[in-house]
């Protein structure tokens, strides 16, 4: 007993040698990256992607590959068959989410057909269903009106997901930068994306429902489905201010958010207010999933995506786990790494994804 008390005292004293809120025993080191089991809960693997999988295995990542009703991606049947093959070949290492399709949306049989398709995908092993920003931003009725996510024609599908406990992964709207002129955008990646995809650059399309209208429709849909298990990807398109994300999470207790392609917005906020960002991640540690949004295009070997993942995964780990000053080419200011405790890191990097998608277990 005496020995145990002494070692406990020694540990406390050792911890006190470090800064008040960063006891080293509670924090991961850079070298822990390769041994800690992690999940990237937001990638898009549209080919066999062998080098990407090899990198993921090396870095101890499991992957959720998400199908999307996106014209730049292969047809949904092909996306799903590629995902299913990967899942069969690497069970638990690769899980997949199917996607809602708006082809044939004007048919009165659309919702019944989608429900059947979704149930078949779940039967094959899909862990959830993605609904994309084409609803709200590009799908239109013959009279020209944009179809929003709370449309009564979509409701039966969402009712079905809610009843069956199937996760809906929702990408509505875009980063707020999408509604700003290029010189007002906060990060370089958004400038590049909207230059390359002018059809989604809403600053140039005032006829499309606003950012606010997109999110209001999403929130009305969630309010009407209080039991829906919802993975609100890309920080719920509220990436510019963690306090906005906090309000969203408070309002919808069944919703989680992922960090995919929005880590840079946390870094941007950490340039001026790192405590606000780390307090947010600590307070909502049970409801945030790590993800990157890295994609392997159809027909690609996966080599380039593997290199991108290797770098992104390490940089993100450094930002979230270490302390000190970091730099990015995304914006001019330097920013503070967050030095989050191990318990929080384990939840964001693995446990929350396992809770939401127990197929990973």
Q: Cβ(168)–Cβ(229) under 8 Å?
A: yes
Q: CB 293 → Zn ion: shortest distance, Å?
A: 4
Determine the interface stretch with Zn ion among 133-141, 180-188, 286-294, 318-326 (rule: CB under 5 A): 286-294
Candidates 69, 174, 293, 330; binder of Zn ion (CB under 5 A) is: 293
CA distance 344 to 338: 11
Q: Output the smallest distance, CB 168 to Zn ion, in A.
A: 14
8-state DSSP, 202? G
Q: Which is nearer to Zn ion, 115 or 297 (CB)?
A: 297
Of 240, 232, 236, 243, residue with least CA distance to 176: 240
Piece of 109-117, 145-153, 267-275, 287-295 that binds Zn ion (CB under 5 A)? 287-295
- Give the integer Cα–Cα distance in Å for 301 and 352: 30
Minimum CB–partner distance for residue 222 and Zn ion (Å): 20
Q: How far apart are CA 274 and CA 229, in angstroms?
A: 30
From residue 9, give the alpha-carbon distance in Å to each of 19, 124, 207: 17, 53, 66
Which CB sits closer to Zn ion, 132 or 240? 132
**From edge to edge, which strands make up the β-sheet containing 294-296?**
288-289, 255-258, 230-232, 167-170, 128-131, 94-99, 61-66, 38-45, 294-296
Question: How far apart, in whole angstroms, are the C-alpha atoms of residue 237 and residue 262?
Answer: 9
- Residue 167 CB, shortest distance to Zn ion, in Å, is 15
What is the C-alpha to C-alpha distance for residues 24 and 342, in angstroms, rounded to an integer? 10
Output the DSSP codes for 81-125: HHHHHHHHHSTTTEEEEEE---TTTTSTTHHHHHHHHHHHHHHHT
Residue closer to Zn ion, measured from CB, 167 or 338:
167
The two tokens of residue 187 are 């990060």
- Applying CB under 5 A, what is the total number of residues that bind Zn ion? 1
CB of 7 to Zn ion, least distance (A): 47
Query: Closest distance between Zn ion and the C-beta of residue 73, in Å?
Result: 10
69 binds Zn ion (CB under 5 A): no
3-state secondary structure at position 178 = helix
Count the Cβ atoms, other than its own, within 10 Å of residue 151: 17
Residue 190 or 293: which CB sits closer to Zn ion?
293
Residue nearest to Zn ion (CB): 293
CB of 136 to Zn ion, least distance (A): 16
Please identify, using beta-carbon distances, which residue of 260 and 340 lies nearer to Zn ion.
260
| Span near Zn ion by CB under 5 A; candidates 101-109, 138-146, 235-243, 289-297 | 289-297
> Among residues 176 and 344, whose Cβ is nearest to Zn ion?
176
Strand bridging mode 294-296 / 38-45: parallel
Nearer to Zn ion, 99 or 154 (CB): 99
In the complex, minimum distance from the CB of residue 285 to Zn ion, in angstroms, rounded to a whole number: 23
Task: Please choose, out of 28-36, 123-131, 290-298, 346-354, the segment that lies near Zn ion by the rule CB under 5 A.
Answer: 290-298
Site for Zn ion in 144-183 (CB under 5 A): none
Q: Which of the stretches 123-131, 160-168, 293-301, 352-360 binds Zn ion when contact is defined by CB under 5 A?
A: 293-301
Q: How far is the CB of 295 from Zn ion (least distance, A)?
A: 7
Q: C-beta of 319: minimal distance to Zn ion in Å?
A: 20
Six-digit token string for 2: 């005496």
Which one, 262 or 336, has the nearer CB to Zn ion?
Answer: 262
Part of the chain binding Zn ion (CB under 5 A), chosen from 10-18, 47-55, 238-246, 288-296: 288-296
Q: What is the DSSP string of 27-62?
A: S--GGGGGTS-EEEEEEEE-S--HHHHHHHHHTTEE
Stretch that binds Zn ion, among 5-13, 115-123, 212-220, 291-299 (CB under 5 A): 291-299
Residues of this chain that interact with Zn ion (CB under 5 A) are 293
């Amino acid at each position: 007993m005496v020995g145990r008390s002494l070692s406990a005292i020694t540990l406390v004293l050792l911890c006190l040698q470090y800064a008040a809120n960063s006891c080293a025993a509670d924090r991961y080191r850079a070298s822990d990256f390769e041994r800690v089991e992690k999940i990237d809960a937001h990638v898009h693997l549209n080919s066999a992607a062998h080098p990407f999988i090899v990198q993921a295995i090396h870095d101890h990542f499991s992957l959720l590959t998400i199908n999307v009703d996106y014209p730049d991606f292969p047809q949904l049947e092909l996306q799903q068959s590629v995902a299913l093959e990967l899942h069969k070949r690497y069970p638990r290492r690769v899980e997949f989410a199917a996607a809602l399709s708006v082809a044939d949306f004007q048919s009165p049989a659309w919702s019944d057909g989608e429900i059947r398709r979704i149930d078949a995908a779940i039967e094959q092993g899909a862990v959830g269903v993605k609904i994309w920003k084409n609803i709200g931003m590009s799908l239109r009725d013959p009279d020209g009106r944009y179809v929003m996510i709370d449309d009564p024609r979509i409701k039966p599908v969402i009712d079905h997901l809610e009843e069956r406990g199937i996760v809906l992964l929702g990408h509505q709207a875009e980063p707020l930068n999408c509604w700003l002129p290029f010189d007002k955008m906060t990060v370089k990646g958004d400038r590049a994306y909207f230059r390359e995809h002018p059809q989604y650059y809403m600053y140039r399309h005032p006829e499309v429902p606003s950012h606010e209208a997109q999110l209001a429709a999403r929130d009305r849909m969630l309010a009407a489905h209080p039991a829906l298990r919802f993975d609100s990807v890309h920080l719920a398109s509220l990436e510019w201010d963690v306090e906005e994300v906090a309000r969203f999470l408070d309002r919808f207790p069944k919703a989680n958010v992922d960090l995919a392609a929005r880590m840079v917005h946390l870094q941007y906020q950490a340039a001026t207010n790192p405590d606000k960002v780390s307090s947010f991640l600590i307070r909502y540690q049970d409801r945030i999933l790590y993800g990157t949004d890295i994609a392997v295009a159809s027909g690609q070997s996966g080599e380039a995506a593997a290199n991108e993942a290797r770098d992104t995964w390490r940089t993100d780990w450094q930002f979230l786990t270490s302390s000190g000053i970091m730099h990015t080419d995304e914006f001019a200011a330097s920013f503070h790494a967050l030095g989050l405790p191990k318990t929080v890191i384990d939840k964001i990097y693995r446990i929350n994804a396992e809770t939401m998608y127990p197929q990973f277990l």
